[in-house]
Amino acid sequence: MRATFIHGIRDVRLGEIEPPAPREGMVTIQVAGCGICGSDLHYYLEGGIGAAQVRDPFVPGHEFAGWVAQDYPELGLSRGQLVAVDPAHACGGCEWCQRGHVNLCPFVQFLGAPPLHGAMVERLAVHPEQVVPLPAGFSVRRAVMLEPLGVAVHAIDLARPRLQETVVVLGCGPIGLCLVQLARLSGADRVFAVDPVAYRAEAARRLGAHDAAPTFAAVMGWTGGRGVDLVLEATNSPEGFHHAAEAARIGGRILLAGIPEGDRYALPAALCRRKGLKVKFSRRMGHVYPRAIRLVAEGAVDVDSIVTHRFDLSDAEKGFRLQADCQDGALKSIIVPEDGDTPF
């Protein structure tokens, strides 16, 4: 069957991979759509993230949804049913899983993280625990966007915005745009956004930011030189941590959700120490799909407008290029196995 492979830096090609063999205890999914995530772009632009390196041709993709390929009556799943899929299969038995931190499981099997192939394929098999049934009427694009929204929900859980606080979101990619909306829902007084790409900053305004600017320096103007109570950092910049520290008030808080290029932060230590900042790091997500589904189903969060492009597997390279280079207004590109009349 067809699949999209990353062969190396900026080298994406269509190829063939063996279809999943039927296995007891697994659920076969016909992929309906798979988003290009910021982490996928790190594999595309840098060849890896930390220890997860692309050493052989690799199928990316972990933000995905699909149709159940056959009936699984014992699981309550029917052929043709649209489902979302949690890309993470934690071990369930380690200390961190037992504490409820499944997103930190060191033994996790995560689809689309080398060496485990991901979802930019026609079909794949997943564990039943990864399958997330959806309400009737859910679209493919909304189903795909549940994973990035879930990452943002988990980040907000860690950040704990407080009523009437000032918040700035650094980085207005899909995660950042979800964070803008969730910060508003959490009761923040003023939510600002920063992104050097004009159309991304404008998207943040459209989705609820009170103001947006190309650099973090605007924060001091917005707050009369005080800085914000909470910084939600969702950039891919090694300077992201530094800019977050500059934007935060004395005694403020920072939540780091972004992955920096080169797997390094550039940061003057005295800045954080002298401000007495509280810093948290966010990794993936826990069991947040039920809340993400409700947020979308009830119209509390707009994920539809974040999806700007769709491409067939054979055109995936264009999707990676446009999103990586911030061209053609690309925010979120979704790769579909078949273009044309595929419901979306």
**Cα distance between residue 283 and residue 188, in whole Å:** 23
CATH number, residue 57: 3.90.180.10
Determine contact, residues 186/153, Cβ cutoff 8 Å.
no
Does 161 sit behind a cis peptide bond, omega within 30 degrees of 0 on the bond before it?
A: no
Per-residue pLDDT band for 220 (boundaries 50, 70, 90) equals very high
Looking at the domain assignment, is residue 293 inside a domain? no
- Whether the model clears a pTM of 0.85, i.e. scores above it, the answer is yes
Looking at the domain assignment, is residue 138 inside a domain? no
Looking at the domain assignment, is residue 57 inside a domain? yes
275 and 170, same domain (yes or no) = yes
What 3-state DSSP class applies to 98?
helix
Residue 278 has pLDDT above 70, yes or no: yes
6 and 128, same domain (yes or no) = yes
Per-residue pLDDT band for 339 (boundaries 50, 70, 90) equals low
Looking at the domain assignment, is residue 85 inside a domain? yes
Looking at the domain assignment, is residue 27 inside a domain? yes
Looking at the domain assignment, is residue 289 inside a domain? no
Residue type, 325: D
157 and 124, same domain (yes or no) = no
User: What total of structural domains would you count in the chain?
Assistant: 2
What 3-state DSSP class applies to 113?
coil
What 3-state DSSP class applies to 326?
coil
Mean pLDDT of 228-242: 96
pLDDT at 194: 98
155 and 267, same domain (yes or no) = yes
Mean pLDDT of 260-276: 92
What residue numbers bound the domain in which 57 lies?
2-133+303-336
189 and 89, same domain (yes or no) = no
Quick: pLDDT tens for 75-125. 999 999 999 999 999 999 999 999 999 999 999 999 999 999 999 999 999
37 and 126, same domain (yes or no) = yes
Residue type, 273: R
- H or E element at residue 204: helix 198-206
Quick: pLDDT tens for 156-197. 999 999 999 999 999 999 999 999 999 999 999 999 999 999
What 3-state DSSP class applies to 60?
coil
Looking at the domain assignment, is residue 331 inside a domain? yes
Using the CB atoms, write b or e for 210-231: b if 16+ within 10 Å.
bbbbeebebbeebbeeebbbbb
Per-residue pLDDT band for 44 (boundaries 50, 70, 90) equals very high
CATH number, residue 212: 3.40.50.720
265 and 181, same domain (yes or no) = yes
Mean pLDDT for the chain overall:
94
Mean pLDDT of 15-41: 93
Question: Chain-centre distance of CA 307, in angstroms?
Answer: 12
**Cα distance between residue 286 and residue 104, in whole Å:** 9
**Range list of H helices, 47-173:** 95-98, 140-159
Mean pLDDT of 205-227: 96
- Contacts of residue 212, defined as CB under 8 A and 6 or more positions apart, other chains included, come to 172, 192, 193, 194, 195, 201, 202, 204, 205
Per-residue pLDDT band for 340 (boundaries 50, 70, 90) equals very low
172 and 124, same domain (yes or no) = no
- H or E element at residue 335: strand 332-336
27 and 72, same domain (yes or no) = yes
156 and 260, same domain (yes or no) = yes
Mean pLDDT of 325-329: 95
Residue 27 has pLDDT above 70, yes or no: yes
Looking at the domain assignment, is residue 249 inside a domain? yes
220 and 184, same domain (yes or no) = yes
73 and 120, same domain (yes or no) = yes
pLDDT at 342: 56
Per-residue pLDDT band for 24 (boundaries 50, 70, 90) equals confident
CB atoms within 10 A of CB 127: 13
Token digits for 130?
Answer: 């990864």
* DSSP symbols for 240-270: HHHHHHHHEEEEEEEEE----GGG-----HH
Determine contact, residues 193/209, Cβ cutoff 8 Å.
yes
Find where tokens 């199928």 sit: 59
